[in-house]
């Protein structure tokens, strides 16, 4: 009998794709299971919740956040994405259609047609405060 997969958690097939790309921890103090932590990260991202709201079944939220930050900084997620894309591309199981919906593009409220004053004209000259060639 297989384990129950909760909403937002990785299936066994998804885990099999991701697991080889996770960094191997050095020997020493045991840490939380990588799959459990990765499921916590996926839950947080998909649910849009705050880190403090990550369910306790994934471990302490501080540990989930620390692992997320470490993996983001060392390029683990980038390597995972590239590997999955290469795997799917090799199987011709990926569609590279990209669409941009202009209804989601917003301008800042200050860009709403305010009149320019004389100090914001196009003839404004900016001079460097330090001589760039003297450095």
Q: How many helices (H) and strands (E) does the chain have?
A: 4, 0
**In-domain check, residue 28:** no
- Angle of helix 61-73 relative to helix 76-90, nearest 10 degrees, comes to 70
**Domain span holding position 61:** 12-18+33-90
Q: Name the pTM for this structure.
A: 0.64
Give the pLDDT of residue 52: 96
Tell me: pLDDT of 1 over 50: no
pLDDT tens profile 107-123: 776 666 666 665 555 56
**In-domain check, residue 60:** yes
pLDDT tens profile 29-85: 788 889 999 999 999 999 999 999 999 999 999 999 999 999 999 999 999 999 888
**In-domain check, residue 119:** no
**In-domain check, residue 3:** no
**In-domain check, residue 46:** yes
Distances (CA, A) of 116 to 8, 106, 124: 49, 21, 13
pLDDT tens profile 17-30: 889 888 887 777 78
The tally of domains found in the chain comes to 1
Residue located via tokens 């958690």:
9
pLDDT tens profile 71-101: 999 999 999 999 888 888 888 887 777 777 6
């Amino acid at each position: 009998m297989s384990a129950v997969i909760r909403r937002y958690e990785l299936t066994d097939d998804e885990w099999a794709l991701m697991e080889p790309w996770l960094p191997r921890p050095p020997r020493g103090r045991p840490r939380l299971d990588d799959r459990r932590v990765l499921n916590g990260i996926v839950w947080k991202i998909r649910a849009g919740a705050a880190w403090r709201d990550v369910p306790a079944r994934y471990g302490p939220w501080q540990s989930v956040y620390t692992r997320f930050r470490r993996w983001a900084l060392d390029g683990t997620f980038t390597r995972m994405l590239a590997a999955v894309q290469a795997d799917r591309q090799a199987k011709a199981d990926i569609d590279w259609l990209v669409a941009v919906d202009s209804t989601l593009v917003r301008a800042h409220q200050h860009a709403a047609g305010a009149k320019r004053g004389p100090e914001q004209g196009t003839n404004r000259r900016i001079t460097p405060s330090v001589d760039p060639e003297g450095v």
